Amino acid sequence: MEAARLHEYTDDMTEGLTIDEVDRPAVSGSDDVIVEVEGAGWCQTDNHIIEGMWTEYVPQELPLTLGHENAGTVVETGEDVEIVSAGDPVICHPVQTCGTCRPCRLGETMHCENSAFNGLTHDGGFAEYLHTSERAVIPLPSGVEPIDIAPHADAGITAYHAAKKAVGELNPGDHAVVIGVGGLGHIGLQCLNAMSAAQITAVDLKESALNLADGYGADHLVNPSEADVPAEIEAITDGTGAAQVLDFVGADVTTSYAPDITAGGGDHHIIGYGGHVHEPSQSLVNGEFSFVGNIVGRYAELQELVALVEQGDVDLHTSRYELDDVNTVAEKLEHGEIDGRAVITP
């Protein structure tokens, strides 16, 4: 089968991956599931993996097939698999978990002590077939196509995971800010809109992204190239600040907004990454706000997101590309030329 593989780390996205002929994965364990990939979302994290940014955090052995936002049709299962069978359409949580360690017992999927992460530590879905496990697959309801939902396997669940935390702290009349209305942000905004009664302000440098935010229910739009973000948020919130800020950019400039735009006792959620948090400790003491980290989400949260999709509450803005176009997609994303999410169709 064909697969898009990373052979060496590089900052040049035009030649980051190569299309190789590799063996098709096969069932080797009783709980294995082999999926024919129909859609695999391209993520900014894929660019960061190509750059080698993750080598300090997880073990990686090259060459590696990237792709952690996968959906498709089951073609083969291990003898003990019960929840799916050949022919079933599924979306795949990117993390295959053991189910027996303490984090798993607590439902903390992302902190499994024995996990395998498709496209990050193990081969992923920029290929014709994917090796995963029963604990990672979620059957799709009738009418939901794998190719249309694939990016929710990471972009969606990560955005939902952060939004769900924020919604728990939002009361009617509160304000929320979404920074960056891209691949994750446009989903997070919809989740906030579907699950809370908060006023939502969208912040983005691209007019096309702000137009997307407007269509998805944002109450206010702010372009940092045209207005001072803290001043705009102060005016919009009558000086109280935003109770919850979802930062889907995570750059130095966006994390630095926190002391000036977050309400007392509020949270600035870091979802995008690549920058740093450099704030005086006194600013946290004075504002009593918190920086909150987010990484993907629980298996059960992906089930909940699928329900929101089935109900029509969350939409995906996507564009489709062939497997041979992977480096073109990486380059486009690097230059901010993709609105919403790109989907590779092996």
Is the separation of the CB atoms in 4 and 16 below 8 Å?
A: no
Same domain, 103 and 189: no
Same domain, 66 and 205: no
Same domain, 107 and 33: yes
**273, 293, 313: which is the final residue of a domain?**
293
Same domain, 24 and 131: yes
Q: The domain that contains 252 carries what CATH number?
A: 3.40.50.720
Q: What is the pLDDT of residue 83?
A: 95
User: How many domains does the chain fold into?
Assistant: 2
Same domain, 165 and 258: yes
Same domain, 96 and 173: no
Environment class of 192 (CB within 10 Å of its CB; exposed 0-12, middle 13-18, buried 19+): buried
Residue numbers of the chain with a pLDDT score lower than 70: none
pTM: 0.91
Same domain, 134 and 236: no
Cα–Cα distance, 98 to 120 (Å, whole number):
17
Q: What is the pLDDT of residue 143?
A: 87
Same domain, 9 and 137: yes
**275, 293, 311: which is the final residue of a domain?**
293
Same domain, 16 and 145: yes
Pairing of strands 137-139, 129-133: unpaired
Same domain, 270 and 340: no
Cα–Cα distance, 97 to 116 (Å, whole number):
7
Q: What is the pLDDT of residue 81?
A: 97
Domain carrying residue 85: 2-154+296-345
Same domain, 229 and 178: yes
Same domain, 12 and 98: yes
Q: The domain that contains 107 carries what CATH number?
A: 3.90.180.10
